[in-house]
């Protein structure tokens, strides 16, 4: 018999919750709420100014670096020649990129077959390609600047990377065949 009273009490409490929410909404017009909003807006504006200042500082530093680099390049004719040579070689690579890619894909497919579909094998190929590209760039720069010791070390590292890659791909192939 007490159940209807309990339901009635719950109804009154839920209405009170709605009423308290409505009262809270009405308090948004309160002077303190306006002050809080103004303070929040001022803080936002301050943060925006700080962000803009930092952006300006970053842009200034980048400009200084560009200017310093340009001044350095203007003073060194050998560096200018090296850059021109690199640009020619790079343009040649870009021109022949699609043919090289198709050739490499065919070789890899012939050598490894379906093992290339394994994500670990694809990841290994990406790592290997990145490392080889960096080492080849180092070798090119060492040859251009006639630094034999650097060239020898880079060639040794390239050989070591190729051996590591072959070992890893062999291990991945064995895992796939299991």
Tens of pLDDT, residue by residue over 10-41, are 555 555 555 455 555 555 566 777 888 888 99
CA 155 to mean position of chain CA atoms: 29
pLDDT tens track for 143-160: 888 899 999 999 999 999
pTM of the prediction?
0.52
Q: Distance (Å, rounded) from C-alpha 23 to C-alpha 15? A: 12
């Amino acid at each position: 018999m007490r159940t209807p009273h309990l339901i009635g009490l719950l109804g009154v409490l839920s209405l009170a919750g709605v009423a308290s929410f409505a009262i809270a909404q009405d308090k948004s017009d309160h002077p303190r709420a306006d002050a809080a909003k103004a303070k929040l807006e001022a803080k936002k504006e301050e943060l925006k100014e700080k962000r803009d200042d930092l952006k300006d500082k970053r842009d200034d530093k980048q400009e200084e670096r560009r200017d310093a680099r340009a001044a350095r390049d203007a003073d060194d004719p050998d560096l200018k020649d090296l850059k021109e040579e690199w640009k020619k070689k790079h343009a040649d690579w870009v021109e022949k990129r699609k043919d090289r890619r198709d050739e490499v894909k065919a070789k890899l497919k012939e050598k490894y077959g379906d093992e290339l579909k394994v994500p670990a094998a694809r990841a290994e190929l990406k790592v290997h390609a990145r490392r080889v590209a960096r080492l080849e760039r180092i070798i090119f720069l060492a040859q251009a600047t006639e630094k034999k010791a650097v060239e020898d070390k880079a060639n040794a590292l390239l050989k070591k990377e190729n051996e590591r890659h072959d070992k890893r791909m062999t291990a991945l192939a064995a895992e796939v065949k299991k």
